[in-house]
Amino acid sequence: MLWPALRSVLFQLDPERVHHLAHWALHRVPLAVARARRPASIPALAVRCMGLDFDGPVGLAAGFDKGDVALPGLFGLGFSHVEIGTITPRPQPGNDRPRLFRLPEHRALLNRMGFNNEGMEACARRLAALPPAARLGPVGINVGKNKVTPNEDAAADYLACIERLHPYADYLVVNISSPNTPGLRQLQERDALDRLLRACVRHLAERAPGKPLLVKLAPDLSPEALDEAVDVAIAAGAAGIVATNTTLSRAGVERHPRAAEAGGLSGAPLERLATDVVRRCYARAAGRVPIVGVGGVMDAEGAYAKIRAGATLVQAYTGLIYGGPAFVGRVNAGLARLLERDGFSTLSDAVGADHRQGGGKAAG
């Protein structure tokens, strides 16, 4: 396999430099090549969710494409959907470097990027210039507030992004769970969350009736706070829950030299915690909205665990970094085998299976 050797070379370089190189390469993939190289879809993995059709469950999580809009190249890797963002109203450079760290022995990343992006106008221009044929699957846009915007004024930032970007999104995600913007996670508290989501849902309903708006929650909420956040989100009209963002926990990496760095941890150490959060969200939602499972999806088994715990869709980012260009194809092929092993004819049949088979006790 060529990828492990290439990865060992790339991992000698600064992580952000490699990230920029990846975007440079992805932007140079012609649409025809992206279509030709896209792994063949597997009928059993097709999913219909929130009124949208996905040719498989595995999408690209927010954080990789922060408005660069390298869609043909990303879809060419096999992702069923791509979530762009987090996008803020105004450009911002993010936190000081270094701010992205690899933990290879743990198959993990630690980042404190801080919503670095060129702002909603740049993102909108790139999306508007994209030919419709480049959309080989649903495109989500993940939105947040600028670092300098106080929480009491946060709604204005989210509404501005929704107003500017909704024409180019198949769905939108309100990100209130990044650990790298000071005070952002306070927006997950009951009253603040209710006010923010009601305003966002109402605004999107006026501009684009029926377009889904989801909310992304942190994995570090207490069980009671997580239940409350799910209840508030559904009552406010959110169309789904994205669970989860990166974690402040260092469980499993405590002895690593980078463990003391500030920021959110992603990758394999997050897998079990994120799956437990998916399980609890699914139980609490009780079928009212779908769950998108994110966090530690490094292989087919990890994706399948989230699906059985209640995720209709799953998303990966760190898994791609460690797994390479063939990552999605391997996960999808593995999922098909796991479905067949367990006697499921479609992926939808497996969603929440643990709860129906006595394995759905909520975390905590």
Whole-angstrom CA distances from 268 to 22, 193, 265, 320, 352 are 22, 29, 9, 12, 22
For the residues of 138-201, what is the DSSP string, one character each?
Answer: -EEEEE---TTS-GGGHHHHHHHHHHHHGGG-SEEEEE---TTSTTGGGGGSHHHHHHHHHHHH
pLDDT tens digits for range 137-154: 999 999 999 999 999 999
Of 26-40, 164-178, 221-235, 340-354, the one with minimum mean pLDDT is: 26-40
Confidence tier at 1 by pLDDT (50, 70, 90): low
**Which helix or strand (DSSP H or E) is residue 117 part of?**
none
Partners of 217 in beta bridges: 243
Q: 290: number of CA atoms within 13 Å, CB side? A: 20
- Tell me if 151 is assigned to a ligand binding site: no
360 annotated to a ligand binding site = no
Band (364; pLDDT cuts 50, 70, 90) = very low
Task: Determine the average pLDDT of the residues in 85-110.
Answer: 98
Q: 360 pLDDT band (50/70/90 cuts)?
A: very low
* CA dihedral (221, 227, 228, 233) positive or negative: positive
- Residue 180 labeled ligand binder: yes
Two structure tokens written together for 146? 């600028």
Does residue 359 carry a pLDDT above 80?
Answer: no
Residues known to be catalytic: 178
| Domain regions of the chain by residue span | 1-355
> Hey, CA dihedral for 9, 14, 17, 23, is it positive or negative?
positive
The mean pLDDT value of the chain amounts to: 96
Say yes or no to pLDDT of 244 above 60.
yes
The amino acid at 299 = D
Q: How far apart are CA 172 and CA 69, in angstroms?
A: 15
Confirm whether residue 245 is marked as ligand binding.
yes
Average pLDDT over residues 100-118: 98
Least Cα distance to 180 among 90, 96, 242, 241 occurs for 96
88 annotated among ligand-binding-site residues: no
Order the strands of the 108-111 sheet from edge to edge. 100-103, 108-111, 264-267
Is pLDDT of 362 > 80? no
Q: Is residue 244 annotated as involved in ligand binding?
A: yes
Residue 149 is assigned to a ligand binding site: no
63 is in an annotated binding site: yes
Q: What is the mean pLDDT of residues 274-278?
A: 98
Q: Which residues pair with 108 in a beta bridge?
A: 103, 267
Q: Average of pLDDT values for 190-215?
A: 98
> Is the preceding peptide bond at 346 cis, omega within 30 degrees of 0?
no
The reply, when asked if residue 86 is annotated as ligand binding, is yes
pLDDT at residue 361 in the model: 44
pLDDT at 363 over 50: no
With 0-12 / 13-18 / 19 or more C-beta atoms within 10 angstroms meaning exposed / middle / buried, residue 212 is buried
- Homologous superfamily (CATH) for 1-355: Aldolase class I (3.20.20.70)
Given a cut of 60, whether residue 159 has pLDDT beyond it is yes
Give the integer Cα–Cα distance in Å for 147 and 124. 20
Residue 297 has pLDDT above 80, yes or no: yes
Residues above pLDDT 70, as percent of the chain: 98
346 is in an annotated binding site: no
- pLDDT above 80 (res 358): no
Residue-level pLDDT at 111: 98
pLDDT digits (tens, 9 = 90+) for 12-21: 999 999 999 9
- Tell me which DSSP letter residue 137 carries: S
